[in-house]
Amino acid sequence: MKYFSILSLLIVILISCTSPKEGNLTISGNIKGLKKGTLYLQKIQDTVLVNLDSVNIDGNSEFMFVSNLEEPEIHYLYLDKNDGTRYNDRIDFFAEPGEIIITTSVLDFERDIKIQGGKNQDKYLEYKKMLKRFNERNLRLIKENFEASKQKDDEKLIENDKAYKTLLKQKYLYTINFAVNNRKLEVAPYITLNEVYDANIKFLDTVAKSLSPKVKKSLYGKQLIKYIKDRKEKEAENNDK
């Protein structure tokens, strides 16, 4: 009788160890050309980047993560190629309950990325494409500024300063409008907090007030509302001095 009890216990343990993980989020994909390495699923938790799960790649470049997610939230894939490189590759994406498929390559982990996800990821990708254009124009201005400084071309420096201010204003207005137009998605407060947090408080208020009730109660919605509240209190204190 004791033998059968022990045998039954071992069977239960084996089943529990081999059973697939359960969750409402599945992230699968392929990293073309990757022979060996470790892929980590990460997210920000209490301002700290934490590992949620990991997969060891050894010959088979396909991967899968299964996780539980309460609401849409930014996650990261971090690739440690186990090659002694100090700085490895990391990509961010908007995770939400459902299925996400990610494909990329080991040669250019960040640029070759293709992600099939939910509505937040689609809009996040749309925003990042426009943000890339702003950043490229900004880099051109920095390069031109450097050359103008070497040549002591004050006229060009003044011209570039005006162009930079115009570019910054365009980026901020685009971001605010994008957030308002996507007020029913969690991506709206997220990009507001991460890209234009130092914008005029009136613009931030416009985004916060436009958010749908569901998004206002989300992680990023609550963070944005708290941030605005804190900024208003700080500005009021400074005005009283």
The pLDDT value given to residue 84: 59
Whether residue 98 contacts residue 128, with contact meaning beta carbons closer than 8 Å, is answered with no
Q: Is 149 helix (H, G, I), strand (E, B) or coil?
A: helix
The pLDDT value given to residue 29: 95
Return the CA Rg of the chain: 23
With a cut of 50, list the residues of the chain below it in pLDDT.
Answer: 1-19
- Predicted TM-score (pTM) of the model is 0.86
Whether residue 132 contacts residue 60, with contact meaning beta carbons closer than 8 Å, is answered with no
The pLDDT value given to residue 10: 42
Exposure on the CB side of residue 165, measured as CA atoms within 13 A: 6
In degrees to the nearest 10, what's the CA dihedral of 143, 145, 149, 155?
140
The pLDDT value given to residue 239: 80
Across the chain, what does the average pLDDT equal? 88
The pLDDT value given to residue 88: 62
The pLDDT value given to residue 18: 40
CA distance 73 to 21: 20
The pLDDT value given to residue 85: 60
Whether residue 205 contacts residue 228, with contact meaning beta carbons closer than 8 Å, is answered with yes
The pLDDT value given to residue 89: 85
